[in-house]
């Protein structure tokens, strides 16, 4: 089943977006799977410069991944030791899609000018800034 792109208006511009859940196998027998989710957005008039954000989080066999269900994230920046309790985030919701698009624009994504994808591999680090 092909996922439809959803429309959202951010800063007066119309974007198309989708959130795609995924999994990746780990080598840990206690936690054999990890969530590897993807957020994609395009400016309606400029699909040649998409925004791609990847998120890796824990996965629970009963409730699923935190970014799919809105469970709180307990994150620690391993380099600085800074702890962040990010309130529940469900990336299926337009509120969080708009925040990710605004964050990308502030970070340098220029979808109307660029011809290359704007890729963020560590999306969870962006979520740490929300708290």
Instruction: Give pLDDT tens digits for 68-124.
Output: 766 666 555 444 444 555 567 778 889 989 999 999 999 999 999 999 999 999 898
CB 127 within 8 A of CB 73: yes
Mean pLDDT of the chain: 82
Q: Where are the domains of the chain?
A: 6-128
Predicted confidence at residue 7, as pLDDT, reads 97
Q: Which of 54, 51, 59 is nearest to 31 (CA)?
A: 59
Predicted confidence at residue 99, as pLDDT, reads 93
Instruction: Give pLDDT tens digits for 33-45.
Output: 888 899 999 999 8
Q: Can you list the pairs that 57-63 forms with residues at least 24 positions away whose Cβ atoms lie under 8 Å?
A: 57/124, 58/31, 58/34, 59/23, 59/31, 59/33, 59/34, 59/35
Predicted confidence at residue 109, as pLDDT, reads 97
DSSP code at position 4 = P
Answer yes or no: is pLDDT of 21 > 70.
yes
Answer yes or no: is pLDDT of 6 > 50.
yes
CB 100 within 8 A of CB 53: yes
For 33, residues 6+ apart whose C-beta sits below 8 A from its C-beta are 23, 24, 25, 26, 59
Predicted confidence at residue 113, as pLDDT, reads 92
Predicted confidence at residue 110, as pLDDT, reads 96
Length of the chain: 131
Q: Report DSSP letters for 36-49, one per residue.
A: EEEEEEEETTEEEE
Question: Rounded to two decimals, what is the model's pTM?
Answer: 0.81
Predicted confidence at residue 67, as pLDDT, reads 75
Residue range 60-65: mean pLDDT, rounded: 69
Predicted confidence at residue 126, as pLDDT, reads 82
């Amino acid at each position: 089943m092909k996922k439809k792109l959803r429309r959202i208006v951010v800063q007066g511009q119309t974007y198309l977006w989708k959130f795609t859940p995924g999994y990746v196998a780990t080598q840990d027998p206690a936690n054999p799977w990890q969530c590897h989710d993807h957020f994609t957005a395009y400016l309606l008039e400029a699909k040649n410069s998409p925004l791609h954000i990847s998120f890796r989080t824990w996965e629970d066999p009963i409730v699923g991944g935190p970014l799919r269900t809105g469970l709180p994230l307990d994150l620690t920046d391993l380099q600085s030791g800074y702890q962040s309790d990010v309130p529940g985030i469900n990336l299926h919701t337009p509120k969080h899609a708009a925040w990710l698009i605004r964050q990308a624009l502030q970070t340098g994504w220029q979808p109307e000018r660029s011809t290359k994808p704007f890729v963020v591999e560590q999306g969870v680090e962006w979520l740490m800034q929300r708290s």
